[in-house]
Amino acid sequence: MVYFGRKFFSQRFKKSVSVDSVGELIIQREGDAVPIMSLSSGERQLLTLLAHVTFMPRINAGIIIIDEPELSLHLRWQETLVGQLTRLNSSIQFLFATHSPEIIGENKKNALRVNR
């Protein structure tokens, strides 16, 4: 069983997310199954992103461009998003277009400010 998203889902919402041996996504809260459609839009968005990053090939993975990742994401998730994604798959280059200073966080040296 593969576990991912622990930092995000267990931190505030006490949920666990895993993929079993046949590839089925398992979401649980306090031992009870949680249907995907009962998750918030931010949780579903984050879950999709984490799945892509987790299961993307490690060799020559490429670039993922994410436009306004802060939409529907809890502030704490915004603060840890970049670090968690790069730890999950270091072979991916991420490009974020954001208005959120929390997304940039400690990555100011890698940020480019664009004005109109």
pLDDT of residue 114: 84
Q: Is the pLDDT assigned to residue 36 strictly greater than 90?
A: no
Q: What is the mean pLDDT of residues 36-51?
A: 86
Token code pair at residue 76: 């704490």
Q: What is the mean pLDDT of residues 59-80?
A: 87
pLDDT of residue 3: 52
Per-residue confidence at 65, pLDDT binned at 50, 70, 90? Answer: very high
Q: Is the pLDDT assigned to residue 58 strictly greater than 80?
A: no
Q: Is the pLDDT assigned to residue 1 strictly greater than 50?
A: no
Token code pair at residue 33: 């199954």
Q: Where are the alpha helices (DSSP H) in 1-116?
A: 6-13, 41-55, 75-88, 101-104
- Maximum average pLDDT range among 13-17, 31-35, 42-46, 93-97: 93-97
Q: Are 27 and 43 in contact (CB under 8 A)?
A: no
Q: Is the pLDDT assigned to residue 16 strictly greater than 60?
A: yes
- CA 75 to CA 79: how far, in whole Å? 6
pLDDT of residue 27: 85
Full-prediction pTM beyond 0.85? Answer: no
